[in-house]
Amino acid sequence: MANSSPSNGAKPASVLFVCLGNICRSPMAEGAFRHLTSAGTSNQNPLIGEIDSCGTGAYHAGDYSDSRTMSVLRDNGITNYKHQARRVNIPEDFKKFDYIIAMDADNLMDLRDMVKRAKKNGQLNGNEMEKLHLYGEFGGKTKEEEIGDPYYGGRDGFEIAYKQDEMPITLYFLQTSRAVRIAWLLEELGLDSNVEYHDREANMDTPMSYRFKPGMAVGRSPGISDGNVNLIESVAIAEYLCEKYDKSSRLLPNDPAVRANVRMWMYASDGTFFMHGLSILYCSGAAPDSAEAISTCLTPQGVQAGVVS
């Protein structure tokens, strides 16, 4: 795997995911993280170096990842990932990787014990203990979450594990914008998210101050990041979230006619009605004579009459 150095000269961080046998959870996390960072491609995140996974046990050393793991990864668009299980290498892995991430508390405890023994034997003498983390520390939740072992269950357990593996969606929320619509939708879909809130300040230096993430259009809110997907425009975001996460098609029905009707009202709310609303807002502080001149078409009653007709 090629390592790219960031533009600021910082050393790319290397990441090792660890579970028990290295055929279910940790390769799933590795595959998802590789996909998230586009590792090994021209779009690679320059802050991420080597990504790997291993197990605290050698039960499946040399085996390929569980077929259910690979099936779930493929269903989520990750098709170019392969892995053979291995056991953690002592002391090499602890020296080599910057972040060693255990999928659950038991494996984290085993890793800590390995470090203690290696230090006692003189194999390690650095900050290796500080490299050890529980996967849930990075999930954006107030409580650290463990990734349960799905090995003895059905495929649905692997789907749950993948959902836990996914990094939460980031919503870029600009004050007094339509980002609140997306916040409501995320809640309706039961999706974990991080909200990056920005005040709309009159004294902000330039419109570039509103570029929340590289590659996003200047001044546009809401915006979201979901893995390697970055989107703006509230209707486009709503359609994307419903199509990807509303598995029951409750919000965006499968029936073509019904779906088209839903989309019609989505686009109308973002275009036709929104522009009338702006006109009403702008004219609400106008002088009585000028307000009277346009009241016929721009009052709520006028807008309603136009919609009904």
Give the residue numbers marked as catalytic.
Answer: 19, 25, 149
Structure tokens given for 44:
């690679």
Q: Is 91 helix (H, G, I), strand (E, B) or coil?
A: coil
The Cα 273–Cα 176 span in angstroms is 17
> Distances from the Cα of 287 to the Cαs of 283, 291, 302, in angstroms?
8, 6, 19
Q: How many helices (H) and strands (E) does the chain have?
A: 11, 8
State the CB neighbour count (10 A cutoff) for residue 256. 8
The Cα 70–Cα 30 span in angstroms is 12
Of 160, 153, 51, nearest in space to 97 by CA = 51
The Cα 200–Cα 307 span in angstroms is 32
Give yes or no for a cis peptide into 256 (omega within 30° of 0): no
State the CB neighbour count (10 A cutoff) for residue 6. 14
Beta strands in the chain (DSSP E): 13-19, 48-55, 99-102, 132-134, 169-174, 193-198, 223-226, 229-232
